[in-house]
Amino acid sequence: MSNFQRDCCELLAERFRSGKLDRRGFLTGLVALGAATMAAPGARAAGQELVVVNWGGDAIDAYSAAFAEAYEAATGNKLKIDGSGPLEGSMKTQFESNSVRWDVCDAEPYSAIRLGREGMMEKIDYSIVDRSKIEPGFDGEFYVPSYFYSNVIAYDAARFGDDAPSTWADFWNVAKYPGKRTLYKWMTGVLEAALLADGVAPAELYPLDVDRALAKIEVLKPHIVSFWSSGAESQQLLRDGEASMGLLWHTRANLTKQDTEGEVDWTFDQGLVSPSGWTVIKGNPAGLKAAMEFIALAQNPDNQVTLLNELGNGPANPAAHALVSEEMKPVDASSKENLERQIALQAEWYADHYGTALDKYLALVSS
């Protein structure tokens, strides 16, 4: 999941370079991703610095200077964009060495939970962050959703369009739906897909039966052309016909649909949806109040709708859904209608079991 945030920034950069996105839209997208912020009234004194870290990649490196100028012009404060990625190990090391350098992290919710339980993360201050601006049921103790994305079934519509797959059981059914498959290189979402394909009811998914999921993946493995490691790779495999079906992030699935003029399609049915999360390491240099004020600022529904329009990321603020155009409603992963078709990944389970489950998963996919 951590690679999803980096993928979003890369998509923004691609759209900006190709002329499909203007500079204002690009910067607004970075704001919504947490790669940038345009204003944080009262958060800092003029001339001070706020550091927001996400999985920026090339987009942040290429445009950080332009954004920093805009930020300083708007607020008088300095902004440091750190696109190095808030890996759990990095956050832990900063805390333990008493050298915290990030004010707000766009991290995995399960990392925030795990480090929070160990006393390394600040609890969200809901006197500053507005709980009513969070999708119900996703208000964490140590993180706040920044946006939503989903792992969905994308498929060759030219081949299967008359009887399109809509379940993970369909995905595993290579007799009815012949052709190669592609799955994510990392386990998040893949384990759930395998268990659903094996007949586990959505309400009974957790705690995940990892061994059962891996056995189901092993059955499909001869039909997997590749375990993709980047959003661009997943898109290419479907677009070029190397795979007839894939588990893709819905953002990339939708772009592939656009690129192929509908020859590749996708569905939210049995999508595996998750938020990305804002979190704060204890001892952040700007102080707790400034960090919480940034998170509150990021709840702005207008920015979240812009991110949906540009990348397809679902808003974290329920109020944003009313601002979504009819054209974009089918892409809105966190709307009531689309959430009802999906299954939410449980960050708490990953917080408890990530390491041991990942070791088993990687041993299977790399063998």
pLDDT digits (tens, 9 = 90+) for 156-183: 999 998 899 999 999 999 999 999 999 9
Average pLDDT over residues 121-135: 96
Please write down the long-range contacts of 122-128, taking CB distance under 8 Å and 24 or more positions apart: 122/279, 122/280, 122/281, 122/282, 122/284, 122/288, 122/291, 124/292, 124/295, 125/288, 125/289, 125/292, 128/289, 128/292, 128/293, 128/295, 128/296
Q: How confident is the model at residue 77 (pLDDT cuts 50, 70, 90)?
A: low
Higher pLDDT, 22 or 126: 126
Query: Of the given ranges (52-61, 81-90, 273-282), which has the lowest mean pLDDT?
Result: 52-61
Residue with tokens 């204003």: 39
Q: What Å distances lie between residue 101 and 86, 227, 309, 350, CA to CA?
A: 11, 35, 32, 26
The top-scoring range by mean pLDDT among 8-22, 280-294, 319-333 is 319-333
CA 317 from chain centre, in angstroms, equals 15
Average pLDDT over residues 251-271: 96
How far is residue 167's CA from residue 277's CA, in Å, rounded to a whole number? 28
How far is residue 218's CA from residue 222's CA, in Å, rounded to a whole number? 8
What is the reported pLDDT for 61?
Answer: 47
Q: How confident is the model at residue 87 (pLDDT cuts 50, 70, 90)?
A: confident
What is the reported pLDDT for 312?
Answer: 86
Does a cis peptide bond (omega within 30 degrees of 0) precede residue 207? yes
What is the reported pLDDT for 203?
Answer: 96
What is the reported pLDDT for 42?
Answer: 38
Q: Buried (b) or exposed (e) across 272-298, using 16+ Cβ within 10 A?
A: bbbbbbbbbbeebbbbbebbbbbbbbb
Q: Could you give the 3-state DSSP secondary structure of residue 268?
A: strand
Q: How confident is the model at residue 319 (pLDDT cuts 50, 70, 90)?
A: very high
Query: Of the given ranges (99-103, 178-182, 210-214), which has the lowest mean pLDDT?
Result: 99-103
Average pLDDT over residues 356-366: 94
What is the reported pLDDT for 306?
Answer: 80
How far is residue 105's CA from residue 278's CA, in Å, rounded to a whole number? 6
What is the reported pLDDT for 299?
Answer: 83
Return the percentage of the chain with pLDDT > 70, whole number.
82
User: Would you report the helix, strand and coil content of the chain in percent, each value rounded to 5?
Assistant: 50, 15, 35
How many other C-beta atoms can be found within 10 angstroms of the C-beta atom of residue 158? Answer: 13
How many other C-beta atoms can be found within 10 angstroms of the C-beta atom of residue 146? Answer: 27
Contact yes or no for 278/143 (Cβ under 8 A): yes
Residue 32 has pLDDT above 80, yes or no: no
Eight-state DSSP code of residue 13: H
Q: Could you give the 3-state DSSP secondary structure of residue 106?
A: strand
Residue 191 has pLDDT above 50, yes or no: yes
Residue 70 has pLDDT above 50, yes or no: no
Average pLDDT over residues 46-53: 70
Residue 184 has pLDDT above 50, yes or no: yes
Average pLDDT over residues 12-38: 63
Mean per-residue pLDDT over the chain, rounded: 86
Average pLDDT over residues 74-88: 72
Query: Of the given ranges (33-37, 57-61, 255-259, 296-300), which has the lowest mean pLDDT?
Result: 57-61
How far is residue 182's CA from residue 227's CA, in Å, rounded to a whole number? 6
The amino acid sitting at 136 is: P
Query: Token pair of 217, please?
Result: 């993946």
